[in-house]
């Protein structure tokens, strides 16, 4: 299934900012696999002296941004799982900011964070690879808005791209 298959009615308008970052000609699996390589390469290219750098007071460090990508992938994979399996229970929103401090991201090594990212991405790919087209087209509710399993999956690589652009613009 391709990114271009996702209709704007399958997600809150807010998430369109992420989905639009992904090449619409790519498959969901292809975008996730390619994105994995891009994320790893970008973070490995960051000088160690910059990993805890914050471009402004109250902003996340580069390590915290990577932890944020990991955490959000977990949330959106979970949403895709529940929705793809036909669960119509409304799923709550989440406050991304409260996840960072307890994660201890700045105390982790880059290798630890990248391993956590890779393991999570492998699990995401495994789950989505098991879904049928029917599963991916299931629509549920998340944060009070309709969300399809495939839209939840497409948000993940787009969210990665969004934050990689910010890192390149403001951190490096």
pLDDT in tens, 148-169: 999 999 999 999 999 999 999 9
Rounded to whole angstroms, the Cα distance separating 74 from 122 reads: 11
pLDDT value at position 106? 98
Cβ atoms of 72 and 156 within 8 Å: the answer is yes
What domains are there in the chain, each with its CATH number? 3-171 (1.20.120.450)
Query: With 90 as the cut, is the pLDDT of residue 74 above it?
Result: yes
Q: Binning pLDDT at 50, 70 and 90, where does residue 19 land?
A: very high
Rounded to whole angstroms, the Cα distance separating 50 from 169 reads: 14
CA angle 159, 161, 165 (to 5 degrees): 120
Average pLDDT over residues 60-76: 98
Rounded to whole angstroms, the Cα distance separating 16 from 155 reads: 8
pLDDT value at position 1? 87
pLDDT value at position 117? 98
Q: What is the share, in percent, of the chain residues with pLDDT greater than 90?
A: 99
Query: With 90 as the cut, is the pLDDT of residue 75 above it?
Result: yes
Query: With 90 as the cut, is the pLDDT of residue 124 above it?
Result: yes
Q: What average pLDDT does the structure give for the chain? A: 97
What residue spans of 27-145 are helical by DSSP H? 28-45, 62-84, 96-103, 110-130, 133-137
pTM, entire model: 0.97
């Amino acid at each position: 299934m391709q990114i271009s298959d996702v209709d704007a009615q399958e997600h809150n308008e807010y998430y369109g900012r992420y989905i639009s970052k992904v090449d619409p000609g790519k498959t969901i699996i292809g975008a996730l696999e390619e994105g994995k390589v891009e994320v790893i390469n970008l973070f490995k290219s960051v000088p160690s002296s910059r990993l805890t750098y914050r471009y402004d007071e109250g902003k996340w460090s580069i390590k915290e941004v990577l932890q944020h990508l990991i955490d959000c992938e977990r949330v959106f994979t979970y949403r895709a799982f529940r929705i793809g399996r036909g669960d119509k229970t409304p799923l709550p929103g989440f406050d991304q900011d409260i996840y960072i401090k307890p994660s201890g991201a700045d105390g982790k090594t880059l290798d630890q964070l990248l391993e956590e990212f890779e393991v999570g991405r492998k699990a995401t790919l495994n789950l989505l690879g098991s879904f049928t087209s029917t599963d991916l087209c299931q629509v549920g509710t998340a944060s009070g808005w309709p969300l399809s399993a495939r839209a939840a999956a497409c948000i993940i690589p787009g969210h990665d791209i969004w934050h990689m652009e910010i890192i390149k613009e403001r951190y490096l």
